[in-house]
Amino acid sequence: MPLPRLQPEKPGDSARTDSVLFAVYAPFGSDETLSTFPEGSSRDLAQHPLYQGLLKVAASGVHVAALVDLAKDDTYLVEIEAGKPEGVTVTSRWKQDMASPNNLAGFLRHAHASRPTSAIVLALEGHGAGYLPEIDRSQLSTRTLTRNGTFEWRFDANGGAPVLPGGSPLLPGGSPLLPGGSPLLPGGSPLLPANHMPLSTWGLGAALKAAQEAGVPKLSVIHFDNCFNMAVEVLHTVAPCAEYATGYPNYNFFTAGEGYPGVFAKLAQQGTASAQELAHWFADANRQILEAKGNHPTLGCVVRLARLHTIAECVDDLADALLAALRGAPDAASRLAVVQRIRSAIVLAQQFDTEATFRLEAPDELTDLFSLANSLLNFDFRPHPVHPAARALKDALQGIKAYGSNDAPWVAAGTGITWNFSSPYLAMNIFLPDPLLRGFWDWRSPFYLDVNPDPTLPLVQPHIIDFLKVTDWVDFLIEYHKDSKEWVRLLPAAIPEFPVFNAKFDPKTIPPCGHDKPDGKPGHPGKPGKPDHPTSGKR
């Protein structure tokens, strides 16, 4: 009996395959909660729900290759032949660097070599955070971070700020300046995420490109089974290497692959499916699991990655139109009015969580592109073509949203917070630092803005993603902040915590956000008021 397979992307495509290989990359090694999910007691890989789910996937007639890194344990290669889950092989690969592009590329080369006639579907598990810079930590010396002692860093619970030795402000007005007057946060914060730092955005793209150059076929689907990775920066970076992507612009509650068996059982039942269908099945399985429990609202999106070229062009055109409106203001009062209109549009747009509470609104620094384009239409920017550019971007983002739940998230129980993703104007996030011009910047901001690094300084960021180089989005951000007189601090360098699926959720027993967890432990210091991997209280 033939194995289930995926239809070619184009009719008559010669790259036909006879089966499907499900490749899973699971970097849980820096996170004990995800490693021992769901109750904190499953120390053996065979007890992990993801492993058990992969056995069921194989039973449906799909080949499986998974690289699973566990906390306080080895990195394991799991290989299962389609239809033969009893023949699973688990091989310790000692301890792999799961944040290395070479590691992901090598895993995909190995997986393809083991099943050379299979279409490849990739699931990326663990943590995500949208745009993440590529950082050469060997360049982060004290000399680099203080510009040869020009300033020093002062820290408190709210982050870090550079000052001149002796404690005086860094510069009159509070902010060092780039040419043109935008804030430049010198060197980036010396406090970079030390826990669960996933692959950088550039690193992910480099890994997929290296695998493809080594003969791995273009991926049929990438499922970003993590938080915030339905991001235009991420999608544009991986677009040359895959056909479709499924992802979640906000938090996606960790379900340990519980939906995967159903996805591939549906494929087995039909016998064949398109990559687009499979991508939507990933999103729908995620929705069904979380909505059935209640209080786990998410937003799932699916995009044909070939669309990212047009989407990036539309973002570029919108950035240019906003730049023209800002620079074309005849006087300071008129310019301030344009800034206020842009800021008001950002406030109206859907924000995704990066700030200290679970409330999804500015000053959160991930903004939905579709929602932003729609809200800009509420304000008059004539004679500048902001409205035509916004409408073109809306058209480019149509149909990407697969579903949107509307519920109170259990991680914010008792606060009155609701995550309402019912709007049709939702698609993917973009990084928009300090949207309210308060002078509080995400730790990624210095790297995001520095698209033309000073060749005389150490190359802390050795690679810059193409999206930031081929669009004027950064130029817009710089211009938007040009008249900000106050620069306060960098927000703490922390990857947002990943809410897990709470099988024992009970609103009566979960304290409001900002209180201690049920076991009495305080929230994560990097995200004030948020539980450290919220679960039922057991660790």
pLDDT of the residue at 192: 65
**Which amino acid would we find at residue 185?**
L
Two tokens, residue 496: 């947002």
Look at the chain and count its residues: 539
- Cβ 443 vs Cβ 189: under 8 Å: yes
Biggest alpha carbon distance in the chain? 77
Render 511-528 in DSSP notation, one character per residue. Answer: PPTTSPPTTSPPPPTTST
Radius of gyration of the chain from its Cα atoms, rounded to whole angstroms: 23
Separation of alpha carbons 184 and 182, rounded Å: 6
CB atoms inside a 10 Å sphere around CB 340? 12
Residue 90 has pLDDT above 60, yes or no: yes
Separation of alpha carbons 221 and 244, rounded Å: 5
Q: Is the peptide bond before 383 cis (omega within 30 degrees of 0)?
A: yes
> 58: closest CA among 20, 91, 27?
20
Question: What one-character DSSP code corresponds to residue 507?
Answer: T
SS3 content of the chain, % helix, strand, coil (to 5): 30, 15, 50
- Cβ 465 vs Cβ 233: under 8 Å: yes
Q: What is the pLDDT of residues 335-369, one digit of tens each?
A: 999 999 999 999 999 999 888 788 999 999 999 99
Q: What is the pLDDT of residues 111-135, one digit of tens each?
A: 999 999 999 999 999 988 899 999 8
Q: How far is CA 68 from CA 35, 52, 418, in A?
A: 9, 13, 34
CATH 3.30.70 fits 15-132+196-306, yes or no: no
pLDDT of the residue at 165: 56
User: Which of the four pLDDT bands, split at 50, 70 and 90, describes residue 137?
Assistant: confident
Separation of alpha carbons 107 and 14, rounded Å: 25
User: Which of the four pLDDT bands, split at 50, 70 and 90, describes residue 459?
Assistant: confident
Residue 178 has pLDDT above 60, yes or no: no
Two tokens, residue 291: 């909505």
- Name the 3-class secondary structure at 137: helix
Separation of alpha carbons 207 and 238, rounded Å: 9
- Cβ 203 vs Cβ 27: under 8 Å: no
User: Which of the four pLDDT bands, split at 50, 70 and 90, describes residue 38?
Assistant: confident
Place of tokens 């479709």: 244
pLDDT of the residue at 377: 98
pLDDT of the residue at 458: 81
Q: How far is CA 411 from CA 130, 287, 406, 515, in A?
A: 21, 17, 14, 11
Separation of alpha carbons 179 and 369, rounded Å: 28
pLDDT of the residue at 191: 58
SS3 assignment for 227-255: CCCCEHHHHHHHHHHEEEEEECCCCCCEC
Separation of alpha carbons 432 and 450, rounded Å: 14
- Name the 3-class secondary structure at 390: helix
Give the range among 137-141, 355-359, 437-441 with minimum mean pLDDT: 137-141
* pLDDT above 70 coverage of the chain, percent: 82
Domain with CATH 3.40.50 in the chain: 15-132+196-306
- Cβ 390 vs Cβ 377: under 8 Å: yes
Where are any strands of DSSP class E within 38-111? 63-69, 75-80, 89-92
Measure CA 316 to chain center: 21
pLDDT of the residue at 512: 34
Place of tokens 């697969």: 402
- Cβ 136 vs Cβ 187: under 8 Å: no
